[in-house]
Amino acid sequence: MLKLDKIVKTYKTPSIITTALDSVSITFREQEFVAILGPSGSGKTTLLNIIGGLDHYDSGDLILNNQSTKDFKANDWDAYRNNSVGFVFQSYNLINHLSVFENVELGLTLSNVPKDERDKMSKDALTKVGLEDHMYKKPSELSGGQMQRVAIARALVNNPDILLCDEPTGALDSKTSVQIMDLIKELSKEKLVIMVTHNNEIARQYADRIVQFRDGQIVTDNHPYDGAKPTQNFELKKTKLSYWTALKLSWNNLKTKKGQTSITAFASSIGIISIGVVLSLSNGFQNEINRTQTQTLSQFPITIASFASDPTVFSDYEPREEFPDSQEVIAVGDVSEAAIHTNPLDEEYINYIRNIDPELVNNIGFSRNLNLNLLREVDGDIQQVQFSNENPEAQMDRGNMATSMTGVGLNTFPTDSQGNETDFSQENYDLLAGEFPSEATDVVLIIDRDNTTNVYGLTNLGFDVTEDDTLNFDEIIGTEMQLVANNDYYMELPNNQFVPNDDLTEVYKAENNVTIRISGILRAPEEDTLALLSPGIAYSDGLNQLMLQANEASNIVLAQEASDNNVMTNQAFESSSARDTFIGMLGGDAIPSSIYIYPNDFEQKDEILAYLDAWNEGKEQEDQVLYNDLASVVSGLTGSLMNAITYALVAFAAISLVTSMIMIGIITYTSVIQRTKEIGILKALGARKKDITRVFDSETFILGISSGILGVVIAWLLTYPINVAIENLTSLTNVAQLDPGHAVILIIISTVLTVIGGHIPARMAANLDAAEALRMD
Ligand code: ADP
Ligand code: MG
């Protein structure tokens, strides 16, 4: 049934070519106990490995039930090893981290035998070798004889036709040897047993047939067989290990070596921990940088005012000779006055501003010189009131004209780049009383962090307060005023002079009046946000628009546009710009006096500046619109500097990533290399290359996920002490924050890297000849 025909096997090493088998021909009976006797190095093990399919012959043929194995594929050999042969080695070759039972069961698992069948078969085999009481021990808890019994049980469990034993008693004392030999003898009653030994006595005592071996050749054979008629046809059942079984096997493996597994997982996780920490730090710093940028920019927006300072005047300035010897004094003009540039702000330019990429702009604020004609009834009296923090007496001095010139900060809500109203106040302010504004006619009172607001702001609204007085929220909320159109507010005297109508009671009831209401009291919240509005009354630009629409063609505006003199005082203006300002105050000019652009960050600011510069390209100096970039003056920070910081942080994270990649790869690599012998055992049991890589891949997969999760959890825990330390050093709170998205990515990276790190050596080991893998120790 098993026939070797002129088998030749040579081993080539760089220095020497050894002919281990030199044209060996021999035929075995279906059932007999053959002892192969020979001195060490004569080729006995090689012969056994070739019979068992652990090693492959160079020439000749191995014939199984009349079937040549010349055309056997790798998986045919795998199936042959799994079903038809059982191996017993001198050094037992048990897998130490599996229990006795699991070692025996392994061959069955590899061929996907169902669980209960596996259980029964393994127990039967263990009972047969007398180990039924030691099934759940580890091999290390057994004696040499017991371990060899386990190996025999493992070889038997699949009920193979051939049992191959390589010096099975070589490592045992004589008493134990006898027991093992008795066991093997017993088995030989129903199988072909081929046993290699150099012990003459044992051979003579137990074997039915003794084959003498020397220098790779058969010298004598005391009971040769001519291999008459073949009996049945040889049948191979293919082995196949499912992914699920592989995963379970790996899980059990890992469970049995908890200590080693946790150390490996922890070692692999160190890289993940460091990236996790670096990422959470860079996240935090990035947020901090962004916040600083937004904050700086909210205080120092890009400003486009009616007047700007023209830097070219300074740069074009030719310095004169210093400390000249001359006896002359030179009269020069004022450079900064010469540098004053009037910005030609017009509708086209405003539209240009509105067309800024909305992505770049956080908010745009418009400020206007517009005067709102407001009347309020206080205790039955009608009074002129205004939205202004200015001392009314100072205003008197300035020209007896109630204006709401915007001093510092904004008093209108910023809009988006299209000029649409946004939820700015809801997003950036806390509502202390009343409601958020919902209509253009709703105005709000902004108070400071300490609930203060300017005393003139209140008196100008008609409230009877002096410094340090307090007002209840209720006294303010719901306060109503009438916004009066110019034609009702001013009357024209016969000398064409315009004066405010002094019958305020009548004006107060004018038909076209619009009712304005203080709808709420707002305060900047405790967390930093955009506190763009200065304390006082704030309202939407929509209210300005209402006023502008009503007054653009009002009598006073038309008269003023036609006259060079001030139509209220009948006196000449100091300058044409003073006249323009006055027309603006009367509502005759829809163009804002200043535009404030609030970018989100410095990089966007740079882009907006480029956009503003593009407007000026190719224009004459006087047609250009010059802006003021306050943030750059104040902080000296530019988008590119901010980017450099960000890149540095990213580079830092990338370096840790690469380091941890290499580390994870190496750790997995070494742990798989250490298990080459185990791979040899799996092969001897009939595992396919695929099965072996599958077992190792699923093991490294579990390991990768665990170390990823472990790393992420540790990194997350570390952010707490790190934050405490940073807070102590810099007073920045909660800087390190692990982004959940990053955490998931890190776990995936850890898994992929670990699987790759393990896959390569597992493939290499699976490609080794089983005989070679087994020789590893
Ligand atoms: P035995 O089992 O009878 O002691 P082996 O079959 O192990 O002998 O070895 C037969 C010969 O082949 C020896 O000379 C040995 O050195 C050589 N040999 C066995 N395996 C290899 C190998 N993998 N590479 C090189 N030489 C080998
Ligand atoms: Mg040997």
Same domain, 442 and 393: yes
How confident is residue 400, by pLDDT bands cut at 50, 70 and 90? very low
Q: Using the mean position of ligand 1's atoms as its centre, give its distance from the Cα of residue 43 in Å.
A: 6
Could you give phi then psi for residue 369, rounded to 5 degrees? Answer: -85, 15
Q: Using the mean position of ligand 2's atoms as its centre, give its distance from the Cα of residue 508 in Å.
A: 118
In the prediction, which pLDDT does 69 show? 92
Closest C-alpha residue for ligand 1 atom 14: 41
Phi-psi bin for 130: left (phi > 0), alpha (psi -120 to 50), beta?
Answer: left
The ligand that comes nearest to the alpha carbon of residue 46 is: 1
Measured from the CA of 198, which atom of ligand 1 is nearest?
3
Q: Which residues face 289 on adjacent strands?
A: none
Q: Using the mean position of ligand 2's atoms as its centre, give its distance from the Cα of residue 74 in Å.
A: 24
| The total number of structural domains that make up the chain | 3
Q: Using the mean position of ligand 1's atoms as its centre, give its distance from the Cα of residue 20 in Å.
A: 6
Q: Using the mean position of ligand 1's atoms as its centre, give its distance from the Cα of residue 656 in Å.
A: 47
β-pairing verdict for 162-166 and 85-88 = parallel
Closest C-alpha residue for ligand 1 atom 24: 11
Closest C-alpha residue for ligand 1 atom 10: 43
Question: Could you tell me the CA-to-CA distances from 7 to 3, 48, 59, 95, 727 in Å, in that order?
Answer: 10, 12, 6, 32, 78
**Hey, what amino acid is at 543?**
L
Query: Could you tell me the pTM of the whole model?
Result: 0.61
182-221 burial: b if 16+ Cβ within 10 Å, else e? ebbbebbeebbbbbbbbbeebbeebbebbbbbeebbbeeb
Helices (H), ranges, 67-223: 74-83, 100-110, 115-128, 144-156, 174-187, 200-206
The ligand that comes nearest to the alpha carbon of residue 49 is: 1
Q: Using the mean position of ligand 2's atoms as its centre, give its distance from the Cα of residue 677 in Å.
A: 17
User: Does residue 349 lie within any of the structural domains?
Assistant: no
Among the residue ranges 409-413, 701-705, 762-766, the one predicted with the least confidence is: 409-413
Same domain, 161 and 282: no
User: Does residue 491 lie within any of the structural domains?
Assistant: yes
Measured from the CA of 167, which atom of ligand 1 is nearest?
2
Determine the residue of 8, 11, 16 to mutate for testing ligand 1's pocket, defined as the one with the most ligand atoms within 8 A of the Cβ atom. Answer: 11
Element housing 696 (H / E): helix 689-730
pLDDT 10s digits, 263-289: 888 887 888 888 888 888 887 877 777
Determine the residue of 45, 194, 197, 213 to mutate for testing ligand 1's pocket, defined as the one with the most ligand atoms within 8 A of the Cβ atom. Answer: 45
Same domain, 78 and 42: yes
- Give the closest residue to 151 by CA, choosing from 66, 93, 112: 93
User: Does residue 211 lie within any of the structural domains?
Assistant: yes
Closest C-alpha residue for ligand 1 atom 13: 41
Most confidently modeled range among 235-244, 309-318, 530-539, 546-555: 546-555
Q: Using the mean position of ligand 2's atoms as its centre, give its distance from the Cα of residue 27 in Å.
A: 21
Measured from the CA of 166, which atom of ligand 1 is nearest?
2
Measured from the CA of 39, which atom of ligand 1 is nearest?
3
Better-predicted residue by pLDDT, 662 or 168: 168
User: Does residue 594 lie within any of the structural domains?
Assistant: no
Taking residues 545-552, what's their average pLDDT?
89
The ligand that comes nearest to the alpha carbon of residue 212 is: 1
Closest C-alpha residue for ligand 1 atom 7: 45
How confident is residue 235, by pLDDT bands cut at 50, 70 and 90? low
Q: Using the mean position of ligand 1's atoms as its centre, give its distance from the Cα of residue 571 in Å.
A: 121
Q: Percentage of residues in the chain with pLDDT exceeding 70?
A: 93
Taking residues 223-231, what's their average pLDDT?
72
How confident is residue 261, by pLDDT bands cut at 50, 70 and 90? confident
In the prediction, which pLDDT does 408 show? 39
Measured from the CA of 42, which atom of ligand 1 is nearest?
3
Q: Using the mean position of ligand 1's atoms as its centre, give its distance from the Cα of residue 167 in Å.
A: 15
pLDDT 10s digits, 150-164: 999 999 898 898 999
Same domain, 234 and 263: no
Q: Using the mean position of ligand 2's atoms as its centre, give its distance from the Cα of residue 551 in Å.
A: 112
Measured from the CA of 38, which atom of ligand 1 is nearest?
3
The ligand that comes nearest to the alpha carbon of residue 42 is: 1
Measured from the CA of 216, which atom of ligand 1 is nearest?
10
In the prediction, which pLDDT does 402 show? 36
Same domain, 264 and 205: no
Count of positions (residues) in the chain: 777
The ligand that comes nearest to the alpha carbon of residue 44 is: 1
Measured from the CA of 196, which atom of ligand 1 is nearest?
2
Q: Using the mean position of ligand 2's atoms as its centre, give its distance from the Cα of residue 217 in Å.
A: 14
Same domain, 29 and 86: yes
Closest C-alpha residue for ligand 1 atom 12: 20
In the prediction, which pLDDT does 110 show? 82
Query: 87: domain CATH number?
Result: 3.40.50.300
Q: 414 is written with which tokens? A: 């910023």
Q: Using the mean position of ligand 1's atoms as its centre, give its distance from the Cα of residue 214 in Å.
A: 12
Q: Is 31 helix (H, G, I), strand (E, B) or coil?
A: coil
**Hey, what amino acid is at 438?**
S
Better-predicted residue by pLDDT, 777 or 353: 353
**How far is the C-alpha of 496 from the C-alpha of 401, rounded, in Å?**
18
Better-predicted residue by pLDDT, 673 or 165: 165
Check pLDDT > 60 for residue 664: yes
In the prediction, which pLDDT does 401 show? 42
Same domain, 20 and 121: yes
Cα Dmax for the chain: 149
CB of 513 closer than 8 Å to CB of 484: yes
**Average pLDDT value for the chain:** 85
Closest C-alpha residue for ligand 1 atom 25: 11
E-strand ranges in 169-310 read: 192-197, 209-214, 217-221, 302-305, 307-309
Phi-psi bin for 120: left (phi > 0), alpha (psi -120 to 50), beta?
Answer: alpha
Taking residues 553-568, what's their average pLDDT?
91
User: Does residue 586 lie within any of the structural domains?
Assistant: no
Better-predicted residue by pLDDT, 438 or 8: 8
In the prediction, which pLDDT does 635 show? 64
User: Does residue 751 lie within any of the structural domains?
Assistant: yes
The ligand that comes nearest to the alpha carbon of residue 18 is: 1
The ligand that comes nearest to the alpha carbon of residue 776 is: 1
Full strand arrangement of the beta sheet holding 17-28 = 17-28, 2-12, 59-64, 67-68
Give the torsion through C-alpha atoms of 539, 540, 541, 544, to 10 deg. Answer: -50
pLDDT 10s digits, 614-659: 999 999 888 999 998 877 766 666 666 766 776 787 787 778 777 7
Taking residues 341-356, what's their average pLDDT?
89
Which of 505, 538, 571 represents a domain boundary (last residue)? Answer: 538
**How far is the C-alpha of 681 from the C-alpha of 679, rounded, in Å?**
5
Check pLDDT > 90 for residue 416: no
Same domain, 655 and 515: no
Q: Using the mean position of ligand 2's atoms as its centre, give its distance from the Cα of residue 44 in Å.
A: 6
Better-predicted residue by pLDDT, 652 or 755: 755
Determine the residue of 18, 42, 49 to mutate for testing ligand 1's pocket, defined as the one with the most ligand atoms within 8 A of the Cβ atom. Answer: 18
How confident is residue 399, by pLDDT bands cut at 50, 70 and 90? very low
Cα R_g (the chain), whole angstroms? 48
**How far is the C-alpha of 33 from the C-alpha of 52, rounded, in Å?**
16
Could you give phi then psi for residue 252, rounded to 5 degrees? Answer: -65, -45
Q: 205 is written with which tokens? A: 């005592």
Measured from the CA of 47, which atom of ligand 1 is nearest?
6
pLDDT 10s digits, 193-212: 999 998 899 999 999 999 99
Q: Using the mean position of ligand 2's atoms as its centre, give its distance from the Cα of residue 154 in Å.
A: 21
pLDDT 10s digits, 692-749: 888 888 888 888 899 899 999 999 999 999 999 988 888 778 888 888 998 999 999 8
Same domain, 283 and 201: no
**How far is the C-alpha of 595 from the C-alpha of 353, rounded, in Å?**
9
Measured from the CA of 213, which atom of ligand 1 is nearest?
3
**How far is the C-alpha of 190 from the C-alpha of 198, rounded, in Å?**
24
Better-predicted residue by pLDDT, 404 or 604: 604
CB of 268 closer than 8 Å to CB of 754: yes
Give the torsion through C-alpha atoms of 43, 45, 50, 53, to 10 deg. Answer: -170
Non-local CB neighbours of 32 within 8 Å, separated by 6+ positions: 188, 192, 193, 208, 209, 223
Measured from the CA of 49, which atom of ligand 1 is nearest?
6
Full strand arrangement of the beta sheet holding 628-629 = 361-367, 594-599, 302-305, 628-629
User: Does residue 554 lie within any of the structural domains?
Assistant: no
**How far is the C-alpha of 242 from the C-alpha of 737, rounded, in Å?**
41
Which of 538, 554, 584 represents a domain boundary (last residue)? Answer: 538
Check pLDDT > 90 for residue 37: yes
In the prediction, which pLDDT does 405 show? 37
The ligand that comes nearest to the alpha carbon of residue 775 is: 1
Measured from the CA of 12, which atom of ligand 1 is nearest?
25
Same domain, 45 and 194: yes
**How far is the C-alpha of 421 from the C-alpha of 532, rounded, in Å?**
15
CB of 480 closer than 8 Å to CB of 443: no
Check pLDDT > 70 for residue 406: no
**How far is the C-alpha of 660 from the C-alpha of 753, rounded, in Å?**
9
The ligand that comes nearest to the alpha carbon of residue 41 is: 1
In the prediction, which pLDDT does 528 show? 62
Same domain, 182 and 273: no
Q: Using the mean position of ligand 1's atoms as its centre, give its distance from the Cα of residue 83 in Å.
A: 26
In the prediction, which pLDDT does 642 show? 65
Better-predicted residue by pLDDT, 465 or 658: 465
**How far is the C-alpha of 309 from the C-alpha of 341, rounded, in Å?**
6
Residues enclosing ligand 1, CB less than 6 A?
11, 13, 18, 20, 38, 40-46
Q: Using the mean position of ligand 1's atoms as its centre, give its distance from the Cα of residue 774 in Å.
A: 13
User: Does residue 587 lie within any of the structural domains?
Assistant: no
**How far is the C-alpha of 725 from the C-alpha of 160, rounded, in Å?**
67
Which of 503, 538, 573 represents a domain boundary (last residue)? Answer: 538
Taking residues 130-147, what's their average pLDDT?
93
In the prediction, which pLDDT does 6 show? 95
Taking residues 324-350, what's their average pLDDT?
85
Determine the residue of 7, 8, 46 to mutate for testing ligand 1's pocket, defined as the one with the most ligand atoms within 8 A of the Cβ atom. Answer: 46
Closest C-alpha residue for ligand 1 atom 26: 11
How confident is residue 237, by pLDDT bands cut at 50, 70 and 90? low
The whole domain housing 523 covers 372-538
Closest C-alpha residue for ligand 1 atom 16: 41
Measured from the CA of 21, which atom of ligand 1 is nearest?
10
Check pLDDT > 90 for residue 219: yes
Check pLDDT > 90 for residue 508: yes
In the prediction, which pLDDT does 407 show? 37
The ligand that comes nearest to the alpha carbon of residue 89 is: 2
Q: Using the mean position of ligand 2's atoms as its centre, give its distance from the Cα of residue 728 in Å.
A: 70
Cα 263 to chain centroid distance, Å, stands at: 25
In the prediction, which pLDDT does 721 show? 94
Q: Using the mean position of ligand 1's atoms as its centre, give its distance from the Cα of residue 678 in Å.
A: 21
pLDDT 10s digits, 487-504: 999 999 998 899 999 899
DSSP state of 565: B
Taking residues 475-484, what's their average pLDDT?
94
Non-local CB neighbours of 75 within 8 Å, separated by 6+ positions: 238, 239, 688
Q: Using the mean position of ligand 1's atoms as its centre, give its distance from the Cα of residue 212 in Å.
A: 17
Same domain, 718 and 746: yes
pLDDT 10s digits, 47-84: 999 999 999 999 999 998 888 999 998 888 888 888 88
Closest C-alpha residue for ligand 1 atom 1: 41
